Amino acid sequence: MSHPPAPPQTGSIPAPEQRLHPLSWLFVLLQQLKQFLLPVLILLLFGAGDGRQLWGLIAVAILVLVALWQYATFRYRIESDSLIVRSGLLERRLRQIPFARIHNVALQQSVLHRIFGVAEIRLESAGGSRPEAEMRVLKLADAHALEHLIRQQARSAAAAARAYPDGPPSLPESDTARDLLSLPLSEVMLLGVISNRGLLVVGAALAAVSQISPDLLRDLAEPLIDALTDWLNLQPLGYAQYAYAALVPVLALALLLQALSIALALLQYAGFRLTETGSRLTIERGLLTRLRTTASRRRIQAWTLKEGVFQRLFRRRALHVDIAVSRDQSEQRSFREIAPIATADTIDGLVRHVLDQADWPPRQWRALHRYAWLRLALPGLCVAALATVLLGYHVGPWGLLGLLWIPWAVLAARRHLLHAGYAWEGELIAVRAGWWSRHWRFTELNKLQALRLCRNPLDWSMGTASLWLDTSGAATFAPPLRIRFLPIADAQALQAQLGAQIARRPLRW
Amino acid sequence: MTETPAKGSAMQASDSASGADADRWQALAPQARVIFMLSGAMTALPAAIAARLLTRIFDLPLGWTAACAAAVLVGIIGVWVGWRRYQLTLWRLDLYAFSVRRGRLWQTDTRVPRNRVQHLDLRRGPLERYYGLATLIVHTAGTRDSSVALSGLAQADAEALRDVLARQSEHDLAAGDDHRSDAVQTHPLPPR
């Protein structure tokens, strides 16, 4: 520790090395404890008595040592065009991160961070499985300074590196932030109602509990059910009263779930603001843990606009973007949801504003193959056939009721086809699909990567093909940028034309 | 299964593709056929094991005969499939892109624009080395098609392709972000 290795000569004025906040070991420790929480808890709970608690303590002590050691070895230095991070326990790691390569800067402040006046910063670049640098934790002022500096540097570095003539005229970059979207409390609560996240959380919790201790749920539920049946047996009730009696807990449960969903939405999205500073977009959100993440608008690789059934009921949509950064565990921390909930007009305006080389929505959507509804209905038809056979086997002629599914499947497919389509206008390429739950996915030509044309036997019989357009950093569960059921000649022509257009546009990310 | 020769369809498609390209779809190296057929034949082993296990589980007679029969049958089908896969795997390098086409009933035609190539790998296993073959892996920054692997290239072809594609991405880096400068450059392959 006493003799740090000489910094690499980069030909610029060497800046002083800086350390993390002295308390950073505490937060590293907390982070590690979070990972080991379950094993440690199990050790403490079930290992009572026979000296195993001692092992838990030893483990915690080791973790404390590791955290202290990490704090002691971590240094960073700001050079003229890059950030140099030196860290390492036994093997030393020196990392040089050019500002121009940083795609996303995320600053996070939990309640504990706020108590100590510190913050955590993550710098992400394209690709890789981990963030380029993770500073856990810096003094708040230092964190803000670093964030600001990276923004400034990245901007000047990017401006120096490129001089594209017909790109966006480099705007007079000002530091005044402009509000693009901010969500009032009522919208955040509506988001909770729409997202129904409470159901997911409760489901996940139940699953986790049943994994850890399969009998626990039954042990908890049995006395309840017993008491309930006893009580019901004592009351002479009619059918209507039974129905009410059943309705009350169901309603109560639904309300509880909604309340939980709203609470979760408030925790995550309260105070949501999307602002624009020069060419950089910043998302701020969170009630207890404040999160601020910043990315340049040209880092956006693809856009996803979604409208589910509930969203349509309340006339809202959600807009997500992909940026090409590591997709690891903390997906919700990265720069993704730029408009979690907003009206269609607001979102269209936002997209138009941020996409400066293209217009949105496209003036004209091109339709898919006119018989594509046959293909869209196919899964439904198979379900109907299967249901009919199974039902027929069990209940005889009544099984033919299964065929009633066919008109529905056909209707759904035809409605879907009406809404499905693609558009290529100027720099914009867009795909839309869905009926009940709709989505639009679009990107600019210079963000496209490989183009893949696929045909399966059904495609051969109909003379169609699907064209997959690949972009960077696509989320695992995002709908694909894929044009299905194109007539084969169109698909081949589109692939060739797009390929030629992409070849004229250097990759900019 | 259709028995239409693969060549015919390949030629048609290359005509209807962008008019700028002079290059045609190219077949893999002739030696690669053996490797494709061998890898197809490999399916015989799991088939034999599966047949043996099934006869054991359901207490059927003729366990080893069934296993051998399954191995032979699946092996023959595998060899045929491998041979077809060899025939139906084609590649093309034109002005704009490197393309790989595979299969017929389930056909995919992947087109990697030349300036989207991030880096390139050349891989040679023992068998490939014996036959003078190589596998070229083209990496892009994409998600689903972030790498396109083409095995069964003659080594010289693979190296030439690698050099041409690498030169292109180098050229792009050098040119920076200026997309006026007619970024499409032709780097024709040296004649085989």
Give pLDDT tens digits for A102-131: 888 888 888 888 888 889 888 888 766 677
Mean pLDDT value across residues A197-203: 83
Percentage, residues of chain B above pLDDT 90:
53
Region A75-85: mean pLDDT is 85
Q: A78: which residues sit within 8 A by CB, 6+ positions away?
A: A15, A18, A84, A146, A149
Chain B residues touching A126 at Cβ < 8 A? 141
Suggest the residue from A101, A103, A470, A488 to mutate for an interface test with chain B (most B CBs closer than 10 A): A470
Q: pLDDT tier at A239 (50, 70, 90 boundaries)?
A: confident
Q: Please give the pLDDT value at position A327.
A: 58
pTM: 0.79
**Strands lying side by side in the sheet with A290-296:** A133-139, A118-125, A102-109, A290-296, A280-285, A273-277, A178-182
CA B10 to chain A, closest CA, distance in angstroms equals 13
B61 falls in which pLDDT band (50, 70, 90)? Answer: confident
Inter-residue contact B38 to B82 (CB < 8 Å): yes
What is the SS3 assignment for A51?
A: coil
Query: Is A164 in Cβ contact with B140 (below 8 Å)?
Result: no
- Backbone phi, psi, residue A173, to 5°: -75, 115
More confident: A320 or A149: A320
Percent of chain A at pLDDT > 70 equals 87
Q: Is the minimum CB–CB distance between A162 and chain B shorter than 8 Å?
A: yes
In this model, does residue B177 exceed pLDDT 60? no
Query: Where are chain B's structural domains?
Result: 1-11+28-88, 92-178
- Give me the pLDDT at residue A417, please: 92
- Tokens for A391? 């039902």
Quote the distance between the C-alpha of residue A104 and its chain's center: 14
Nearest CA in chain A to B141: A472
CB within 8 Å: A164 and B177: yes
Q: What does the pLDDT look like over A317-327, one tens digit per residue? A: 999 998 887 55
Asked if residue B32 lies in contact with residue B134, where contact means CB atoms within 8 angstroms, the answer is no
Overall average pLDDT of the A240-254 stretch:
82
Q: ipTM more than 0.90?
A: no
Q: Taking CB atoms and an 8 Å cutoff, what residues of chain B touch A468?
A: 144-145
pLDDT of residue A44: 65
Q: From CA A163, how far away is CA B42, in angstroms rounded?
A: 55
Of A38-47, A245-254, B70-79, the one with minimum mean pLDDT is A38-47
**Confidence grade of residue A48 (pLDDT, cut at 50, 70, 90):** low
For residue A141, pLDDT over 50 is answered with: yes
pLDDT for position A63? 85
Residue B99, pLDDT score: 94
pLDDT band with cut points at 50, 70 and 90 for residue A237? low
Question: In chain B, which residues have their Cβ closer than 8 Å to the Cβ of A455?
Answer: 106-108
* In the predicted structure, residue B169 carries a pLDDT above the cut 80: no
The CA distance from B166 to the nearest CA of chain A, in Å, is 15
Q: What span, in angstroms and rounded, lies between the C-alpha atoms of B96 and B114?
A: 6
CA atoms within 13 A on the CB side of B161: 28
Q: Find the DSSP H helices in A22-133.
A: 24-46, 52-73, 111-116
> Residue A277: how many CB atoms within 10 A of its CB?
17
Strand partners, A463: none
> For residue B142, what is the nearest residue in chain A, using CA coordinates?
A472
Q: What is the C-alpha separation between A134 and A146, in angstroms, rounded?
A: 12
The CA distance from A262 to A420, in Å, is 32
Amino acid at A375: R
Residue range A408-419, pLDDT digits in tens: 999 999 999 999
On whether any CB of chain B is under 8 Å from the CB of A451, the answer is yes
For residue A497, what pLDDT band results from cuts at 50, 70 and 90?
very high
Q: A300-337 b/e with 16+ CB inside 10 Å = b?
A: bbbbbbbbbeebeeeebbbbbbbbbbbbeeeeebbbbb
Q: Taking a contact as any Cβ pair under 8 Å apart, which residues of chain A between 322 and 351 contact chain B?
A: 324
Would you state the CATH architecture of domain B92-178?
A: Roll (2.30)
Give the Cα separation of B37 and B63 in Å (integer): 27
First to last CA, chain B: 33
Q: Are A411 and A421 in contact (CB under 8 A)?
A: no
Tell me the per-residue pLDDT of B22-44, one tens digit each, with 9 for 90 and over. 478 999 999 999 999 999 999 99
| Residue percentage of chain A with pLDDT more than 90 | 34
A253 compared with A13, residue with greater pLDDT? A253
Residue A468 touches chain B, beta carbons under 8 Å: yes
- Looking up tokens 């963030």 gives A131
Sequence-distant (6+) residues with CB within 8 A of A9 are none
pLDDT at A53 exceeding the cut of 80: no
> What band does A475 get if pLDDT is binned at 50, 70 and 90?
confident
Cβ within 8 Å of residue A402, ≥6 positions away: A384, A385, A387, A388, A389, A390, A391, A392
Q: Which of A107, A267, A153, A249 is nearest to A201 (CA)?
A: A267
Token pair belonging to A368:
């898919």
Q: Please, what is the average pLDDT of chain A? A: 83
Does an H or E element contain A472, and which?
Answer: none
Q: How many CB pairs under 8 A join A and B?
A: 134
